[in-house]
Structure 1
Amino acid sequence: MKHLPALIVVLFLLLSAGCAVDPGAPSETAPGEFQTVQGLLQAAADTNNASLRAEYQLEAAKRLQDKGDYPSARQLLDSMQTDDLGRAPGRIYRWIQARDIVNRGSREDAEELAGRISPDLVSRLPSDERKRAVRDLAGLYELADQPLKTFRVLMNGYAVIDESEWQPYNQRVWEALKSIPDDSLSNEASRASDANPQGWLELALSLRATDRFAIEPRAEAIRQWQKNWDSHPGARALPDELSIIATLPEQRPERIALTLPLSGALSGPGKAVREGFLAAFYEDLGNDPQTAITLTIHDTNKGGFSRIYADLLEADPDLVVGPLRKESLAGLNNQTRMPIPVLALNYVPFEGPMPEQLYQFGLASEDEVRQIATRLHNKDHRNALVFAPAGDWGSRMIEAFESAHEKTDDARMIRAVRYDEGENLNRVVADGFSINSSRQRANQLMRDTGATMQYEPRRRQDIDAIVLLAAPEQARQFNPLFAFYYGGDLPVYGTSLLYHGTPDPSRDSDLDGIAFTDIPWILDSEQTLRPQLGKLFPSLGERYDRLFALGVDSYYLASRLPVLEQVEGYQMKGRTGTLRMAPDGAIRRHQIWARFEKGRPRLLDDSSPELRGGTQ
Structure 2
Amino acid sequence: MCKTAKKSILFPLLCILTLFFAIACESSSARSKQPINLTKESQRMHEKAEYLSSAQHYLGLSQNSHPAQSLEYQIMAADMFVKAGEPTKAASLLDKVSDSALDVNQKIFKQMVLVELALARYNPKQAETLLQNIPHQANLPEATRSRVLFLQARTYEANDNYLAAARARSILDELLVDQQSQRINRQAIRQILNKVPEHVLNQALQREQYPLAPWLSLAYIEKSISNPAQREQAIYQWQQQFPNHPAQAFLSQNLNYPQYQMAANNTQAQQYYVAASGMSPRKIALLLPMNGPHAKAAKAIREGYLAAYYDNASGQKPSIQVYDTTLENDVIRTYQRAVNEGADFVVGPLVKEEVIRLSQMPTYALKTPILTLNEHPQVHSNIRSFVQFSLSPENEADQITEKARSLGYRNASIVVPNNSWGKRLSARFRDSWQKKGGRIVSEAQIEPYKDTAKQIRDLLAIEQSQKRSDTIKYLIKEHVEYQVRRRTDVDVVFMALPSAQARQIKPLFDFYYAHDLPILATSSVYAGNPNSNRDRDMNGIQFIDMPWVVNAKQSRVKKLINKQEDSLSGESSRLFAMGVDAYDLTQSFNQLQQSPNAMIDGATGQLSLNADNRIQRKMTWVKIANGSPVLVQ
TM-score > 0.5, shorter chain as reference = yes
Per the TM alignment, residue 487 of structure 1 is displaced from its structure 2 partner at its CA by 0.8
- The aligned counterpart of 1:575 is 603
Query: 1:339 and 2:339 equivalent?
Result: no
Per the TM alignment, residue 566 of structure 1 is displaced from its structure 2 partner at its CA by 7.4
Per the TM alignment, residue 439 of structure 1 is displaced from its structure 2 partner at its CA by 2.8
- The aligned counterpart of 2:191 is 175
Would you say the 8 A contact 2:205–2:217 is kept in 1?
Answer: no
Would you say the 8 A contact 2:542–2:623 is kept in 1?
Answer: yes
Write the distance in 2 (CA, Å) between the matches of 1:160 and 1:390. 49
Q: Deviations over 1:188-240 (max 9, x none)?
A: 97899736699988986886678xxxxx536636866998xx89999995945
Write the distance in 1 (CA, Å) between the matches of 2:580 and 2:631. 22
Is the alpha carbon distance of 1:235 and 1:150 closer, same or farther for their aligned partners in structure 2, counting shifts above 3 Å? farther
Would you say the 8 A contact 1:383–1:465 is kept in 2?
Answer: yes
Would you say the 8 A contact 2:414–2:495 is kept in 1?
Answer: yes
Write the distance in 1 (CA, Å) between the matches of 2:550 and 2:242. 36
Q: Deviations over 1:426-475 (max 9, x none)?
A: 33322322223433454466567765545332212221211222233332
- The aligned counterpart of 2:154 is 143
Is the alpha carbon distance of 1:153 and 1:310 closer, same or farther for their aligned partners in structure 2, counting shifts above 3 Å? closer
- The aligned counterpart of 2:265 is none
Would you say the 8 A contact 1:521–1:546 is kept in 2?
Answer: no
Give the 3-state SS of the residue equivalent to 1:467 in structure 2. Answer: strand
Is the alpha carbon distance of 1:131 and 1:604 closer, same or farther for their aligned partners in structure 2, counting shifts above 3 Å? farther
Is the alpha carbon distance of 1:131 and 1:453 closer, same or farther for their aligned partners in structure 2, counting shifts above 3 Å? closer
Per the TM alignment, residue 572 of structure 1 is displaced from its structure 2 partner at its CA by 4.7
Amino acid at match of 2:5: V
Map 1:83-122 onto structure 2 (within 5 A): 100=113, 107-108=120-121, 111=124, 113-116=126-129
Match among 391, 398, 416 for residue 370 of structure 1? 398
Q: Deviations over 1:147-171 (max 9, x none)?
A: 6424125558989999x99x98986
Q: Which ranges in structure 1 are unaligned for 5 or more consecutive residues?
A: 1-33, 42-56, 211-215, 606-616
Greater alpha carbon shift after TM alignment, 430-439 vs 62-71: 62-71
Per the TM alignment, residue 37 of structure 1 is displaced from its structure 2 partner at its CA by 1.2
Write the distance in 2 (CA, Å) between the matches of 1:100 and 1:139. 12
- The aligned counterpart of 1:326 is 352
- The aligned counterpart of 1:217 is 227
Is the alpha carbon distance of 1:69 and 1:502 closer, same or farther for their aligned partners in structure 2, counting shifts above 3 Å? closer
Write the distance in 1 (CA, Å) between the matches of 2:398 and 2:522. 10
Would you say the 8 A contact 1:98–1:110 is kept in 2?
Answer: no
- The aligned counterpart of 1:614 is none
Is the alpha carbon distance of 1:450 and 1:100 closer, same or farther for their aligned partners in structure 2, counting shifts above 3 Å? closer
Would you say the 8 A contact 1:262–1:271 is kept in 2?
Answer: yes
Give the 3-state SS of the residue equivalent to 2:413 in structure 1. Answer: strand
- The aligned counterpart of 1:387 is 415
Query: 1:417 and 2:444 equivalent?
Result: yes
- The aligned counterpart of 1:25 is none
Give the 3-state SS of the residue equivalent to 1:348 in structure 2. Answer: coil
Write the distance in 2 (CA, Å) between the matches of 1:150 and 1:232. 27
Is the alpha carbon distance of 1:62 and 1:430 closer, same or farther for their aligned partners in structure 2, counting shifts above 3 Å? closer
- The aligned counterpart of 2:5 is 37
Amino acid at match of 1:322: G
Match among 460, 468, 471 for residue 498 of structure 2? 471
Aligned-pair identity in percent equals: 24
Match among 306, 328, 331 for residue 303 of structure 1? 328
Would you say the 8 A contact 1:508–1:599 is kept in 2?
Answer: yes
Write the distance in 2 (CA, Å) between the matches of 1:103 and 1:118. 10
Is the alpha carbon distance of 1:125 and 1:460 closer, same or farther for their aligned partners in structure 2, counting shifts above 3 Å? closer
Query: 1:80 and 2:106 equivalent?
Result: no
When the two structures are aligned, how many residues end up with a matched partner? 529
Would you say the 8 A contact 1:534–1:541 is kept in 2?
Answer: yes
Match among 334, 343, 354 for residue 317 of structure 1? 343
Query: 1:552 and 2:580 equivalent?
Result: yes
Map 1:123-142 onto structure 2 (within 5 A): 125=136, 136=147, 138-142=149-153
- The aligned counterpart of 1:28 is none
Is the alpha carbon distance of 1:262 and 1:102 closer, same or farther for their aligned partners in structure 2, counting shifts above 3 Å? farther
Match among 376, 383, 387 for residue 348 of structure 1? 376
Give the 3-state SS of the residue equivalent to 2:554 in structure 1. Answer: coil
Cα RMSD between the aligned structures?
4.9
Would you say the 8 A contact 2:520–2:541 is kept in 1?
Answer: yes
Per the TM alignment, residue 187 of structure 1 is displaced from its structure 2 partner at its CA by 7.6
Is the alpha carbon distance of 1:518 and 1:189 closer, same or farther for their aligned partners in structure 2, counting shifts above 3 Å? same
Is the alpha carbon distance of 1:460 and 1:129 closer, same or farther for their aligned partners in structure 2, counting shifts above 3 Å? closer
Would you say the 8 A contact 1:134–1:157 is kept in 2?
Answer: no
Give the 3-state SS of the residue equivalent to 1:541 in structure 2. Answer: coil
Would you say the 8 A contact 1:222–1:246 is kept in 2?
Answer: no
Give the 3-state SS of the residue equivalent to 2:194 in structure 1. Answer: helix
Would you say the 8 A contact 2:229–2:278 is kept in 1?
Answer: no
Higher radius of gyration, 1 or 2: 1
Give the 3-state SS of the residue equivalent to 2:375 in structure 1. Answer: coil
Match among 285, 293, 313 for residue 257 of structure 1? 285
Give the 3-state SS of the residue equivalent to 1:527 in structure 2. Answer: helix
Per the TM alignment, residue 282 of structure 1 is displaced from its structure 2 partner at its CA by 4.5
- The aligned counterpart of 1:596 is 624
Amino acid at match of 2:151: L
Per the TM alignment, residue 303 of structure 1 is displaced from its structure 2 partner at its CA by 3.1
Match among 546, 557, 576 for residue 519 of structure 1? 546
Write the distance in 2 (CA, Å) between the matches of 1:466 and 1:316. 51
Greater alpha carbon shift after TM alignment, 272-281 vs 189-198: 189-198
- The aligned counterpart of 1:608 is none
Amino acid at match of 1:114: A
Q: Deviations over 1:7-40 (max 9, x none)?
A: xxxxxxxxxxxxxxxxxxxxxxxxxxx98511xx
TM-score (normalizing by structure 1)? 0.69
Amino acid at match of 1:143: R
TM-score (normalizing by structure 2)? 0.67
Would you say the 8 A contact 1:102–1:110 is kept in 2?
Answer: no
Would you say the 8 A contact 2:486–2:514 is kept in 1?
Answer: yes
Would you say the 8 A contact 1:138–1:154 is kept in 2?
Answer: no
